[in-house]
Chains A and B, each alone.
Chain A
């Protein structure tokens, strides 16, 4: 037992605060009755977590048996805490407007806020875990909390979506556990029984001595398992439903954070395989899955009638692109993949912020019923236009830069692969632009003018995170600070 406690970070360790804050907040929020107070406690807790995560940039805690921070996960921890904070702000405004329509009871809202913090806790736990078992438990818990939030509205569609999400991801998670056990079995003859054989820091050091065949088998299970959660085709079926039917802040964190965390888990295992050196190369597997996700979603984008579903497919597309980049490997492609993970996270959550307000304003999620957003709500409409142009990959946004890097490095090394990649990207681009044109321009339907006067203050509040994210993406596209670039390069080399 003492041995187990030794794995916990000490009080002076920022990691303790990063993990304890959301966990404590989840418990606290479960007992707050007033949802107005709760939504601000939610923001405050997320802000404190973000502040604690910033400390990690300066102080690198010593790895313990259970937790560690290295160059790779530190940026994801900070990104997760940041998007968690902005989404909490958006959520406060969203919930305020949602409860005007009485769509959610007080009990549901209490539950929602508690689950939001619990979800953030599981994400941060998965990112900072030094133990493959702990990481697995965290991803499993993340699935449970999000299932509960997806089913929040209790409509027929929401229940179907949650059920599908739950069944598919539970199976995925189950297979990932089997892969995790196999990795332990590969490590155990070399490093002996116990927690060391599950610790990333220890395993990476001696990976070369592991038995390669066993690692191969393990990686297949891990790829299918965590790949389900990343939403890679053909394991993506849960993703559009879960994004479309839950409350919009949840769609934002699902796309912006959960997919990244699942991919992070996958990449850690890939690093283990690379460190071993005698296994099959994981790259081609990732390239094939990435490319098939890209193509599938590029075509699926054309037939969407539901705005949230449209952008859910766009998330599959971008996760496919990122997986492709890491599959290609090498310093440049890895750099592009890391950058794209960040850019997609920021842009896609911004899009969902906009979509949430649009759906509330217009009272519909049907693309065909949404018209003239830039005319009826200029600040919202242009923010939305900017975000969609960014995600479609138009310069000078950050997404363009990372997409260009992926494409460029592929052209340099495997020109034959670059061709389908370019085609898929163009297909997706055209689909998004045509939808955007329909929604953003033209004559707005007459009723929206009357509705827009309601909740103006919460409207401004809801728009802040959107514009903040877009500003970051724009700045990243124009200028990346040199330390950040150097740092991305270090991580890219780590990934092999």
Chain B
């Protein structure tokens, strides 16, 4: 039991760290703090993937860990910092829902995922089971962040937090083929360049990245 117990505990410790970073994202008031927290989450994700690679003896997961470490924890936050300075984006986070309520909703979502996932995965390995509950919480919190934040940048970070949760789920699922992880990471890369183009185009036309301003036009003038 000894070694199994340790691998189990460490996996949960790291998974919980990813989740904590997700919750932390919800109460940041400055844009740079949001990005730094996201970088921390990606770092924790890299550790989770690395640990799973070790435990499951699945070397291809090291690649996933590497992508999370280099791309998500370093390049993406750096690029976002650069974009914000370059474009002179307003640096405080605008919320559509007060931070207190958002936090409560976040906690409720964690409870919901635990209640949903644990009963239905009775047959799966314990390691997978609880990691999956953590991953689902991260996904739902990312979704919550996208809904309750107004700036385009925070919405994008919310989306990437959601993807972090997905990758956490994918690496915890024992023996899931490599195809998926690499493609997920790759699509994030593509998505990111896409975002970059978007930002520039939006910047060309509007003075703000605030989604509310973008959406003043409803497109159906009578």
Contacts and interface: CB of A to CB of B under 8 A. Distances in A.
Nearest to A210: B123
A309 interface: yes
A171 B143 contact: yes
Given A162-B198, A306-B220, A185 B132 contact: yes
Interface stretch (B12-20, B61-69, B72-80, B174-182): B174-182
A121 interface: no
A217 to B, nearest CB: 5
- Chain A residues touching B, majority SS: helix
Candidate in A131, A182, A216 with the most chain B CB atoms within 10 angstroms: A182
Given A178-B166, A178-B169, A188-B175, A216 B139 contact: no
A166 B184 CA distance: 16
Interface string A161-192: 11110110011001101101110110011001
B97 interface: no
Contact of B120 (A159, A160, A171, A216): A216
A131 B183 CA distance: 13
A244 B217 CA distance: 13
A169 B221 CA distance: 25
A156 interface: yes
A188 B159 contact: no
Given A159-B198, A167-B146, A134 B174 contact: no
Candidate in B121, B152, B177, B211 with the most chain A CB atoms within 10 angstroms: B177
Contacts of B122: 211
B143 A156 contact: no
A461 interface: no
A232 interface: no
Contacts of A214: 120-121, 123-124
A27 interface: no
Interface in B162-220: 162-163, 165-166, 169-170, 173-177, 179-180, 183-184, 187, 190-191, 194, 198, 201-202, 204-206, 211, 214-215, 217, 219-220
Nearest to A367: B222
A387 B183 CA distance: 40
A147 interface: yes
Interface string B39-62: 000000000000000000000000
Contacts, number: 140
A195 B122 CA distance: 23
Contact of B175 (A148, A166, A192, A240): A192
B123 A160 contact: no
A10 interface: no
A217 B116 contact: yes
A304 interface: yes
A100 B119 CA distance: 63
A133 B174 contact: no
Given A156-B217, A157-B217, A177 B184 contact: yes
Given A163-B214, A309-B220, A181 B173 contact: yes
Candidate in A148, A154, A174, A217 with the most chain B CB atoms within 10 angstroms: A174
Contacts of A160: 214-215, 217, 219
B37 interface: no
Interface residues of B, number: 51
Contacts of A245: 219
Interface string B115-139: 0110111111000100010011001
B15 to A, nearest CB: 15
Contacts of B202: 159, 163
A184 B176 contact: yes
B205 A159 contact: yes
Contacts of A213: 119-120
Interface in A112-162: 131, 133-134, 136-137, 140-141, 144, 147-148, 151, 154, 156-157, 159-162
B141 to A, nearest CB: 13
B194 A147 contact: yes
B170 to A, nearest CB: 6
B198 A166 contact: yes
Nearest to B182: A137
B154 interface: no
A370 interface: no
Contacts of A171: 143, 146, 159, 162
A305 interface: yes
27 contacts: A133-B183, A136-B183, A140-B187, A154-B204, A156-B205, A156-B217, A160-B217, A170-B159, A171-B143, A171-B159, A178-B135, A178-B139, A180-B180, A181-B169, A181-B170, A181-B176, A184-B176, A188-B175, A193-B174, A194-B175, A211-B122, A211-B123, A214-B121, A214-B123, A303-B222, A306-B220, A309-B220
Given A159-B201, A175-B139, A181-B169, 11 more contacts: A133-B177, A137-B179, A160-B215, A163-B211, A178-B169, A180-B180, A181-B173, A182-B132, A185-B124, A194-B177, A303-B220
Interface of A: 4, 131, 133-134, 136-137, 140-141, 144, 147-148, 151, 154, 156-157, 159-164, 166-167, 170-171, 174-175, 177-178, 180-182, 184-185, 188-189, 192-195, 197-198, 211, 213-214, 216-217, 240-241, 244-245, 303-306, 309, 366, 368
Interface of B: 116-117, 119-124, 128, 132, 135-136, 139, 143, 146, 152, 155, 159, 162-163, 165-166, 169-170, 173-177, 179-180, 183-184, 187, 190-191, 194, 198, 201-202, 204-206, 211, 214-215, 217, 219-222
